[in-house]
Structure 1
Amino acid sequence: MFQKILIANRGEIACRVIRTARRLGIRTVAVFSEADGDAQHVRLADEAHCIGGPRPQDSYLRGDAILDVAKKTGAQAIHPGYGFLSENADFADAVQAAGIAFIGPAGSSMRKMGSKAGAKDLMAAAGVPVVPGYTGEDQSPELLQREADRIGYPLMIKAAHGGGGKGMRIVREAGEFGANLQSCQREAASAFGRDRVLLERYIEHPRHIEIQIFGDGFGAAIHLGERECSAQRRYQKVLEESPSPFLTPELRAAMGAAAVQAAHAIDYANAGTVEFIVGQDGGFYFMEINTRLQVEHPVTEEVTGLDLVEWQLRIAAGEQLPLRQEDIAQHGHAIEVRLYAEDPDAGFLPGSGTLKTLRLPAPSRHVRLDSGVVEGDTVTIFYDPMIAKLIVWDEDRPRALARLREALAGCAISGPKSNVAFLERLVRHPAIVEASIDTGYLDRHLDEFLAPSAIDPSLLLAAATAQLLAQESDARAAAAHGSDPTSPWADADGWRLGHAGARRLAFAHGDASIELLAHGHGGDYRIERDGQTHTIAGARLADGALSVRIDGAMRRFLAAVSADEVLVHDGDRRLRLQPEPLYRRQSAGSDAAEHRIRAPMPGRVVLVQARPGDALDAGDVVLVLEAMKMELALKAPRAGTLAELRAHAGDFVEADAVLATLEQ
C-alpha cells in the first residue's frame, strides 16, 4: 500500500479520499487554488500546496503543476477525484511516465471511450447491446438523411465528440431532419471544435440506469450492482438510488453481465461506471463508460457495505480485487440528493457567497453527509456550487424515502439560496414515490416541482410568531445586561400608554414584500394581514421547534430565526422569509431599478457588447458575465440609451453591483 498520495481535486471528494487514506494509515497531500486557501480539504490533509489562480485552467487543470507537487512531496500516487483531470488520458499517461501511480484506469482505456461513435462501435463488437444507429465517417447530408430514414423516427442526432447535453437534437419525422442536422453541426463545431455527428434511435420515456464496475491489473472485472438516475434536469442527475425499483432480477443480471463485458472490452482497471438507457419494454442499450468514480457512488457503498475509495487505492497499489462477483451482496435501499447553492425559481441560477447558516441532519446509520464545506465557508464563483451530498439508507424504498424527507426537513442553509425546498417537493412527488419517473419528466413538468406562488397562511403565521418570540427574547437578553434590567421599556411587546400596542412586521419573499400587524406578547398574539385577523395562543419556541395554537388548532413547526432570515417547516413544506426594515420597503420606488443593470451573482465580465451612447432595445445584451462554469447574458431592462458603463472585460464583480445604467 502507498505511504503518501496526492489528491488532485477539491471539495467533498477530496475530503472523502483524505479520510479514507487516513483510516488506512496513508499520508495525504492536497493541492489548492488561490480561492481555496481555507477550504476544508486543505485543512484536512497532512500538507497542502497552492498551484495557481482561482480559475480551474490556472490551477486544478494544470497537470504539470500537480505533478511538480507530487514529485516535490514524494507522493507515490495521485487520486484525481471526479471532474477536472479525472478523465484526461494525457494526464494519466504523464503520471505513469513520472513513475507515480494513477488511481484510475489507464490512459489507453480512457481513449477508447473518448469518442461516442468509436465507443459504440467497440461495444457492439464486444456484444454489448447498443441503440440502433449510424456512426460512420461519411457525413454527407444525403447519406445521413438516408441513414435516418433507415433507423426510423423518433431519432436522436448527437455530436460525436460532445457531452453535457450540447449538440443534441430530437427529430420526429423525416421532413425535420435537414434543419436539425445543420443546427446540431453548428453547435457541435462551436462547442467541441468538430461537427461530426452520430444518429441513433430515440428511446421514448427512457430510464437511466448505470452499473458500477471494478477491474484490477490481473484481468479480473466485476460489477457492484446498479444505480438508477432517471430523475434528471437537462441531462444532469438530480436523484440517484440503488437498487433500481424498475429492474427485475433477470434484467439486473443481464445488465450486470453486459457491464462486465464492456469492462473487458477496454481492459478496464479501477472504478468505472457503465451507463445504459433502458426502454419501457426493458430493452437496454449502452450509452457510455465514465472512466472514474461517480458523484453518486455513496449509494452503492451504502447497499453493499463497501468502501469504493479504499478499493481504488488497493487496486492502484497492485492488489487484486478484494471480492469475487459471487461475494457481492446488497442489502436495503439507498438514495442520494445533492444540496446546491442555486435558485430553482430563477432557472436554477447558481449562487455563491458565505454560508451564514449550514445546519444539516446529524449523521447516523440511516443518514450520511459528504461535504467539502462547513458553516462560515464560502461557495465561490469558480467551481461547482455543490454544498453537500445527502445520502439515506433503510431496509426498503418507502422507509428510505421517509428518511430522506425527514433529513431534508432538518436542513437549513442561509447565505446563498439553495435547492433544499425543490428537493423536498421532488421526493414527495408521485413520479418519485411511485418510481415512474423517466429522464425527461422533470424537463416536461418542471412547474410541478417549483415553489407555488401563494404562501401557505399557516406557514406565514408561524414565521411571524417565531419572529415575535425571537424579538422578545433578544430584548430580554439585552435588558439583562443593561443598567436597568427590570425597566418595562426593555420589553419588545409593543406596549403604549393608554391603549394596546401593535408591532409591524415586514418580510421579503423573493421579489414580494409582506407586511403584518401584531398585537400582544409572550406567545399570545393577534396578527392582521389583508383585512383578516388570526389568533395565536400558547406559542413556545425552544430547541429549534415552535409549538403554537393557530386559530384554535395546535401545530408544531421546525423554526430557525436569525438576523437574515426566518425559516419554518411544518414537516411537509418550508417557508423562508427575510426580515425587511419598514423604512426600506417604504422608500423603495417601483421603478427605482429600471435604469440599472446589476450583476445577479459574483463573476467575471467576459464580454461587453455595448458602449455609452448606444441606443438599446429591451432585452439587448449589454454584458456577458462568467460565473459557476456558465455564462450569463445581462440585458437592457427597457429601451433607452446606455448612459454609463461601470465594468470592462476581465473585471471581477460582486453580486448586485451596478455594471451599467440607462439614461433616465
Structure 2
Amino acid sequence: MKKILIANRGEIALRIMKSAREMGIKTVAVYSTIDRNAPHVNFADEAVHIGENPSNQSYLIGDRIIEKALELQVDGIHPGYGFLSENDEFSKAVEKNGMIFIGPGHEAIRTMGDKLAAKEAVKKYDIPMVPGIDEAVTDVEEAKKIAKEIGFPVLIKAAAGGGGKGMRIVDSYDQIEEQMERAISEALSAFGDGSVFIEKYITSPRHIEFQILADNHGNIVHLFERECSIQRRHQKVIEEAPSCVLDAELRKKMGESATLVAKSCNYRGAGTVEFLLDSEMNYYFLEMNTRLQVEHPVTEFITGLDLVKEQIKIARGEKLSWKQNEIRFKGHSIELRVYAEDPQNNFLPNVGKLSVYQIPKGDGIRLDDGYREGMDIPIYYDPMISKLITYGKDRNEAIQLMIKAIDMYRIKGVETTLSFGKFVCQHQAFVQGNFDTHFVKTHFNPDDLKEIKDEEAGWAALLALKLHHEEKNILRTP
C-alpha cells in the first residue's frame, strides 16, 4: 500500500495518519465543511471535501468516500472507529471497487454486529454466556414469560445495538411492557432495527475486554486485557491495562476465549472481545467490536506495539510477527476520554469554542487529540476532545501521573470530563481497585467536583500571581 484514505475525522484520523507516515505511506483526509481547517486535514498529504456538516451528509456517505478514493487512486481505506467502521456494506463495497479495507471482512462485521448472530457463532466453542434467550422477541407477553423464567433483574438489549442504546434494565414483572417499548423505539431510532432480546442482568459486573489480532494465515493472538468499568450512560470514560483483578490463570482463560471468538467468525485485523466479570470472578461473553477501539493506546503502552501499523501489515497480507507465548506486557497504563461534557449536569454535551487549550507534556504522558486553541467543538459529532493516556511502572504511578497530567491540561470555553477524571483517580474505591460498572451511580456526586474546581482555581490564581511578580522583578532589573 502506497496511499490510504482515512474515512474519519479528528483525533483518530490524525493518529492513523501518523503511523502511516512512519511506514512511508501517503494519506488522504476527508472532511466536512466545518472540518476544512482541522488538524487531520492539514496533516494529510491530500484532502478532499465530502459534504456538509451533519455526518449523514458527509462521513456516513460511503459511496461518496469510495468515489473520491478511486479518483485519488487510493490503495486502501482505514475507517477508524465510529461512522462506517462497523458497516459491512461499506467494507464490502471498498473491496468490490478493488481497494483494501483495513479491517475485518464484511462477513465478520455482519456476524458480530448482530448480538444474536454473534451468540450463535460462538456457541460451538463453549464460551460462557449470560443466561438468556438467543432469538429476537417483540411480543410483550412472551417477553414477560421469558423474564420470569430467567429471573429478575433482566436486561432488554437491542440486537443491533451498541454504546448503551436500546438497553433497559428491568427489575420487576410490571415494568416489562413499558421498558420493552422504550428499548424497541430507541433501537429503531439508533439502528433502524427494533429487534431486542432478553438476558439475565449481572448486578455488579466489571467490564473487561481483550485486544486481539488475527492475520489472513490463521494466526490469532490476544494482547491482554483492558479494564473498562468506569462508565457513564453505559459508555466508557476511563480505561486501563492491565486489570488489577485478573490473575495469570484467569487472564489466560479469558484470552483463550477471546481468540476463539475471533476464530468463530474467521476474523482478520484488530478487534476487541468484551466480557462481563461478576463478583465471583465468573466471566461471560458480551460482544465483539470489529474495529480499533478508542482505548487502544493503553494496550500500545503496555505491549510496545503500534496497533495501527499492525492493522496495515495484516491488511496487506503479512503474517503476525510473533506467537502468543512471545508477547509480554510491562507496567500499567490509564486513559481518560476528555469529552466536552458537563459532569455536574449529568454529563450533557457542552460544545463551544476552545478559548484556552494547553496540553500536558512529559515522560509517560500521551495525548491523542484533533483540536487546537481557538477551534469550535461542533455539535454534529461525538463531543470527545481528546484521549489523555499515562504510563507508569505500576498502577499507582500511572494514577499519580494521570492526576498530574490533568492538572497540566488547561481547557477553557467548554466544560469537560477532566475534573471527573481527577475525582475518579483520587477516589479510594478506584485506587484500591474496588469498583464495578456502577461506580458513577455508587460514588459520584456532582457537588464533589465543586471542591476540585475551587482548589484548581486557587492554584491557578497563585500561579498567575507568582508569574506577575516574576515579570515585575525582570522589568526592574537594570
Tell me the distance in 2 between the aligned counterparts of 1:261 and 1:169. 29
What SS is found at the alignment partner of 1:276? Answer: strand
Q: Structure 1: how far apart are the matches of 2:385 and 2:189?
A: 31
- Please list, as runs of the form range in 1=range in 2, the aligned pairs for 1:119-158 lying within 5 A after superposition: 119-137=118-136, 139-158=138-157
TM norm structure 2: 0.93
Please say if residues 353 and 414 of structure 2, whose CA atoms lie closer than 8 Å, have aligned partners that are also in contact: yes
1:417 alignment partner, one of 388, 395, 415? 415
Name the SS for the 2:223 alignment partner.
strand
Matches within 5 A, 1:217-366: 217-364=216-363, 366=364
Unaligned runs of 5+ in 1: 481-664
**Structure 2: distance between partners of 1:97 and 1:461:** 59
Cα distance per residue 1:429-482 (max 9 Å; x no partner)? 1121011111122134331674237985x77666666666777889999999xx
Q: Give the drift of 1:140.
A: 3.3
**2:197 counterpart SS class:** strand
Letter in 2 for 1:351: N
Q: Deviations over 1:287-326 (max 9, x none)?
A: 1110000010000000000011000000001111122111
Partner of 1:34: 33
Q: CA deviation at 1:190?
A: 4.5
Equivalent-residue separation in structure 2 for 1:192 and 1:476 (angstroms): 63
Q: Distance in 2 between matches of 1:446 and 1:55?
A: 34
Aligned counterparts, 1:239-638, within 5 A: 239-364=238-363, 366-447=364-445, 450-452=448-450
Once residues 231 and 316 of structure 1 are traced to their aligned partners in structure 2, the CA distance between those partners, rounded to angstroms, is: 33
Secondary structure of 1:15 counterpart: helix
Structure 2 residue matching 1:378: 3-state secondary structure: coil
> Post-superposition shift, 1:137?
4.4
Q: Which residue of structure 2 lines up, in the alignment, with residue 115 of structure 1?
A: 114
Q: Is the 8 A contact 1:363 1:369 kept in 2?
A: no
> What CA deviation, in whole Å up to 9, does each residue of 1:332-390 have, x standing for no partner?
111111222222222223233332222222143x1111111222333222222222211
Letter in 2 for 1:122: A
CA distance in 1, matches of 2:41, 2:457: 42
Residue identity matched to 2:224? G
Match of 1:203 in 2: 202
Residue equivalent to 2:172: 173
Tell me: CA distance 1:98–1:195, structure 2 relative to 1, closer, same or farther (3 Å).
closer
Question: Would the aligned equivalents of 2:188 and 2:194 in 1 still touch at CA under 8 Å?
Answer: yes
Cα gap change, 1:376/1:143 in structure 2, threshold over 3 Å: closer, same or farther? closer
Aligned twin of 2:160: 161
1:266/1:445 CA distance change after superposition, 3 Å: same
Distance in 1, matches of 2:113 and 2:452, equals 48
Partner secondary structure for residue 447 of structure 1: coil
Aligned-partner Cα distance in 2 for 1:447–1:112: 40
For structure 2, the 5+ residue unaligned runs are none
Relative contact order (alpha carbons < 8 A, sep ≥ 6): 1 or 2 greater? 2
Describe the shift of the 1:170–1:385 C-alpha distance in structure 2 as closer, same or farther (beyond 3 A): closer
Q: TM-score, normalised on structure 1?
A: 0.68
C-alpha RMSD over aligned residues: 2.5
Report what 1:79 is aligned to.
78
Distance in 2 between residues matched to 1:249 and 1:128, nearest whole Å: 19
- 1:181 Cα shift? 3.2
**Do 1:95 and 1:101's aligned partners in 2 also have CA atoms closer than 8 Å?**
yes
Residues in 2 aligned to 1:363 and 1:50: alpha-carbon distance in whole angstroms: 36
1:556 matched residue in structure 2: none
**Which one has a bigger Cα radius of gyration?**
1
| Greater fraction helix | 2
Residue 31 of structure 1 aligns with an amino acid whose one-letter code is V
State the 1:405 CA deviation: 1.1
Equivalents in 2 of 1:68, 1:104: separation in Å?
19
**Structure-2 change in CA distance of 1:74 and 1:471 (3 Å):** same
Q: Judging changes above 3 Å, is the alpha-carbon distance between structure 1 residues 53 and 476 closer, same or farther for their aligned structure 2 residues?
A: farther
1:99-142 CA-to-partner distances (Å, cap 9, x unmatched) read 00000001111111122122122222332211110122464333
AA aligned opposite 1:159: A
Provide the C-alpha distance between the structure 2 equivalents of 1:429 and 1:449, rounded to a whole number of angstroms. Answer: 14
2:16 & 2:76 partners in 1: Cα distance? Answer: 12
Matched residue type, 1:142? E
Aligned length in residues: 477
